[in-house]
Chain A
Amino acid sequence: MPVAIAPNPEADLDVDEPRAIDEGLVGHDRVFHASARTVGLVVLLLILCIGGFLGYQGFPTLQRYGLSFFTETRWLPERDIVGLAAVLVGTVEVALIALAIGFPLAFLTALFISEYAPARLRTTLVSLVDLMAAVPSIIYGLLGFAFLQPHLIYIARWLSEYASWIPIFRVDTDPHAAAWAQSKFTASAFIAGIAVSLMVIPLACAIMRAVFSEAPLGEREAAAALGATRWGVIRSVVLPFGRRGVIGGTMLALGRALGETIAVLLIISPAFEIKFRVLTVGTMTTSALIAGRFGEATPSQLSALLAAGFVLFLMTLSVNTVAAVFVNRSRTGAGTDV
């Protein structure tokens, strides 16, 4: 560009006035932004709609039964007795059993993949965990029903024999009888919980592993240079860094376990009573109730089921949202600074 040597007042004026760089959005960009925003909003609304419709349809039930909907244990719509107390207890029981078994295993597997496994195997192991998450839940239901149950009843009997001083393991049968009552131990919350734990392990494990492997290399090396063993590095660097991921992954697993339907439906035999003896036959969860009773429901029963669905929606959404907040915060690195 030729430089003007002669002082020219008009040219000076041109040079000093900066060109407007931000010309705003051009036409099709405006459309693009608007439509992307619309889709984001639609997805958000869709989710609110799910809750809204379930609440709206279930409202007559809540209005009719009032508080007794949450305190009544029996579910006899044909006799106009409908209550969720036993079902909610069963839902939480199965979910907690699934977590009690799933959490340690998911935690150990995540540690193994991110810290112990040879580096060249790591990708394969990660995809195996993803594969485990992709196996449909009905398959785990079949596994629990036909493969695990015949073995698990022996473990259940053992627990009821030697750990019956813990009230939840008590079973009203004589474990020493020559022909022990196998049917007392089948179709229980314990067995359903183990099948569900198979579903939540990969979910929790994937999140924990991702957070563990993000632990800063510099701090790992610093710990190792100070003489820490491998476990020392894990305890002093990886776990403090990954705490949020562990909590978030566990909460997400809890959310999934609360809502798991088909595996539970395949395994349990329905029982509408509040009971904390998890090894004995029979329990009920909210989602299994909905799926199991939906087929023959009359309109008023349908409303009761929808109200149950609404309660389940609120439970899982709150658990999942808390989990998402934990996981997101650890993913963005906020709150993990030392």
Chain B
Amino acid sequence: MQALTSEELTADIPRRTSARTLDDRASLLGAAVGSVALVWVLYERVFSLSGAVGFVVCWYLAFVTLYALVSGVSNPGPIVVDRVWAAVVTGGATLVGLALGATIVFIFVKGWPALHHLNFYTHDMAGVRPTSPLTQGGVLHAVVGTLIQIAIAVAIALPLGVATAVYMTEVGGRLTDAVRTVVEAMTALPDVLAGLFVYTVLIIGFHWERDGFAVSLALAVTMTPVIARSAEVVLKLVSSSLREASLALGASHWQTVKGVVLPTARAGLVTSLILGIARIAGETAPLLIVSGASTFFNKNPFHNPMNSLPLFIFSSVRSGEPAYITRGYGAAALLVALVLVLFVAARFLARDRQVAR
């Protein structure tokens, strides 16, 4: 602790608060360069270890230590602590970002051998052997199956979810809190249980066929709480002065909800719908339980099994045939692309809403 002289105490020179000082930059750069050099010498030369992961981990630890030491030379304790935490937080976030980037790049790189054949998009797997080359057969049946199943699930889950949200925000009642808590808890319900539920009720209970519609029901069970929860957040954002204006003009409650609240929140509701679709697009476990997989094109959800992308991926990567596994990765890339497209659409619509306000 260094005592301040009276001049320093009284001097009325404002401290620069936000801008980075030379000291900030120099110690960051110095610690980064120094730690790379130090770790390279120790890791590669002195201990002659190998492995990129080990190198990066050692470098990061050395960097944080050096950064703390360098900062400690000319700064008081709190600033050293601040800098170390900034380095740790940034490092953690970078690691998560790298994981996301690696996931997407990995899937597209592995799927590319299948993706650049046109027949991958236009054919199904009927009569194609698992060992067949990638120039034969495709995943059209799985794509169509996925789209049909998602469409039916949306047709069921969207009205239910939005109505639940309307109940929680607009109507209210004694059960609101119970519904909200349970809906929140249900958004993380294991997907495999939705499949089990539909299987026990419909297929054991009512002797239904293991068809596309049963899958859609299982997906709708998963999707409804997701939509209900995000739609509730969106409806809460609708300014209450709009509601009151409508009511004051003599509109009934239903007219207010239908004519004012829902149209105002439309863009946000679309976003919540797309988030719901993104949640179910890759669900595999309920499909594995409820539905069988077909190799052929089937666009009738009420008869015969339908295939879908997640199921196709699962069965192909477990098949052990290199060509078939590659098809699985191709299908995985298509699935990621589908989710990405939905996601960009959701962000675009959400942004539109903010501009319109």
Taking beta carbons and an 8 Å cutoff, which residues of A are in contact with B? Answer: 25-26, 28-29, 31-33, 35-37, 39-44, 46-47, 49-50, 53-54, 57, 104-109, 111-113, 115-117, 127-128, 130-132, 134-140, 142-143, 145-147, 151, 154-155, 158, 198, 201, 203, 205, 228-232, 234, 252, 255-256, 258-262, 265-266, 287, 290-291, 294-295, 302, 305-306, 309, 312-313, 316-317, 320-321, 323-325, 327-328
Contact = CB atoms under 8 A, between A and B. Distances in A.
A306 B104 CA distance: 35
Given A134-B278, A134-B339, A143 B180 contact: no
Interface string B184-207: 111111111110110011001000
Given A50-B197, A53-B197, A142-B110, 19 more contacts: A32-B257, A36-B171, A37-B175, A50-B194, A112-B90, A116-B93, A132-B96, A138-B284, A201-B96, A231-B86, A258-B190, A259-B193, A261-B284, A294-B288, A302-B204, A306-B200, A312-B193, A321-B185, A325-B181
**Contact residues of B: prevailing secondary structure:** helix
Nearest to B197: A50
Contacts of A198: 99, 103
A26 B252 contact: yes
Given A143-B103, A266-B317, A44 B96 contact: no
Interface stretch (B26-34, B127-135, B220-228, B262-270): B220-228
Given A29-B254, A261-B190, A137 B275 contact: no
B80 to A, nearest CB: 10
B284 A136 contact: yes
B173 interface: yes
10 contacts: A32-B257, A40-B164, A43-B182, A57-B200, A131-B340, A136-B335, A262-B284, A266-B318, A291-B192, A320-B184
Contacts of A252: 188
A104 B88 CA distance: 10
A300 to B, nearest CB: 13
B314 interface: yes
Interface in B289-348: 289, 310, 313-314, 317-318, 328-329, 332, 335-336, 339-340, 342-343, 347
Interface of A is mostly: helix
Given A43-B224, A143-B107, A231-B85, A36 B163 contact: yes
A71 B119 CA distance: 53
Given A105-B96, A108-B92, A324-B184, A143 B106 contact: yes
Contacts of B95: 105
Contacts of A108: 88-89, 91-93, 96
Contacts of B180: 324, 328
B192 A109 contact: no
Contact of B168 (A26, A40, A115, A287): A40
Interface of B: 51, 53-54, 78-79, 81-82, 85-86, 88-93, 95-97, 99-100, 102-104, 106-107, 110, 160, 163-164, 166-168, 170-171, 173, 175-176, 178-194, 196-197, 200-201, 204, 221, 224-225, 228, 252-254, 257, 275, 278-279, 281-285, 288-289, 310, 313-314, 317-318, 328-329, 332, 335-336, 339-340, 342-343, 347
B253 A139 contact: no
B103 A324 contact: no
Contact of A127 (B51, B53, B110, B347): B347
B281 A136 contact: yes
Contact of B193 (A131, A147, A313): A313
Q: Enumerate the 10 nearest inter-chain pairs by beta-carbon distance, A residue then B residue, closest first.
A: A136-B282, A259-B190, A108-B92, A112-B93, A320-B185, A324-B184, A134-B278, A229-B82, A40-B167, A39-B163
B31 to A, nearest CB: 17
A234 B84 CA distance: 14
B78 A138 contact: no
Interface centre among B163, B193, B278, B335 (most CB of A within 10 A): B193
